[in-house]
Amino acid sequence: MPEITQTPLTPTQIMKRLPHRHPFLMIDKVTRYGDGEAVAVKSVTMNEWFFAGHFPNDPVMPGVLIGEAMAQTSAFVHHGGADPVGSARLVNIDLQLKAPVLPGEQLVLTARCIKRFGQVMKISAIAQVSDVTVATAELTVAG
């Protein structure tokens, strides 16, 4: 696996590596990747498309989109930030939601390789806001 890279990737650089685009690109910055781990950030703003219906008077980021952000971060674990990582596909996710994510919060996503079987990887991920765990997941990524 490549050494750890700590030069943050911008949204433009992320889009060169992932096939996702607005409104489904769920990470804004990748701050670290390599050596079997990746850390990404999602700044959650009131302008997010999903807050119009989830929920208008009590906006909460949908848990499934937190899981998607974890999966996108996991692609950087699977391929170590290589250009592109789009061939990484989510095969399975066991997601546990712990606390709501609200507008104005910054979601920090950390993903680490647990085990690798050829092109299939088991990944452990954690999502935090201000050092409080809001979700955990075990993902299977292949590709």
Give dist(CA 125, CA 118) in Å, integer: 20
Predicted local confidence at residue 45, as pLDDT: 97
H-run or E-run covering 66: helix 63-79
Give dist(CA 120, CA 1) in Å, integer: 14
pTM, two decimals, is 0.93
Predicted local confidence at residue 86, as pLDDT: 67
Predicted local confidence at residue 61, as pLDDT: 98
Residue 107 structure tokens = 């979601």
Predicted local confidence at residue 81, as pLDDT: 67
Predicted local confidence at residue 80, as pLDDT: 73
Active site residues: 54
Predicted local confidence at residue 7, as pLDDT: 86
Predicted local confidence at residue 38, as pLDDT: 96
Give dist(CA 129, CA 77) in Å, integer: 21
Q: Are strands 132-142 and 120-129 parallel, antiparallel or unpaired?
A: antiparallel
Predicted local confidence at residue 6, as pLDDT: 76
For the purposes of burial, counting CB atoms within 10 Å of the CB of 96, is it exposed (0-12), middle (13-18) or buried (19 or more)?
A: exposed
| Contact assessment for residue 81 and residue 34, using Cβ atoms and an 8 Å cutoff | yes
Complete domains list, the chain, with CATH: 11-142 (3.10.129.10)
Residue 102 structure tokens = 């609200």
pLDDT tens, N- to C-terminus, the chain (143 residues): 456 677 899 999 999 999 999 999 999 999 999 999 999 999 999 999 999 999 989 999 999 999 999 999 999 998 776 667 667 899 999 999 999 999 999 999 999 999 999 989 999 999 999 999 999 999 999 98
| Contact assessment for residue 25 and residue 43, using Cβ atoms and an 8 Å cutoff | no
